[in-house]
Amino acid sequence: NAGVTQTPKFQVLKTGQSMTLQCAQDMNHEYMSWYRQDPGMGLRLIHYSVGAGITDQGEVPNGYNVSRSTTEDFPLRLLSAAPSQTSVYFCASSSLNTEAFFGQGTRLTVV
């Protein structure tokens, strides 16, 4: 049972570089979301999607883009990485009346 799969697990970027964090789920969930986790701040919602072709901003969307072309995939793009984006990123999926299922996270360092 794969669940929610995130790649890569670790990444180091230089300031200004771009990259895409990948997220895939195999549970046929309608809802997918991205959170960032910073020490002492819990998880904060970056972007979310209620289905293919539909995305919306969460609490901390600046500096990030998303798209949802299929039910299974929800990539997160950093167009120009900044040190403030150093964090652990979690992708989650859910359906009506379910909890959020989380991936194992991507630890990103921007130098």
The residues that touch another protein, with contacts defined as CB under 8 A, are: 30-33, 35, 40-45, 48-50, 58, 90, 92, 94, 96-97, 99-105
Task: Read off the DSSP letter of residue 70.
Answer: S
- The answer to whether 78 and 19 have CB atoms below 8 angstroms apart is yes
Smaller CB distance to another protein: residue 52 or 100? Answer: 100
DSSP, collapsed to helix, strand or coil, labels residue 84 as: helix
- In whole angstroms, how close is the CB of 98 to another protein at the nearest point? 8
Beta carbons of 93 and 32 less than 8 angstroms apart: yes
- Closest approach, Cβ 110 to another protein, in A, equals 19
Q: Dihedral of CA 6/57/81/87: which sign?
A: negative
Location of structure tokens 């046929």: 28
Please, what is the minimum distance in Å from the beta carbon of residue 16 to another protein?
28
Residue 41 or residue 79: which is nearer to another protein going by CB?
Answer: 41
Measured from the CB atom, the residue of 62 and 99 that comes closer to another protein is 99
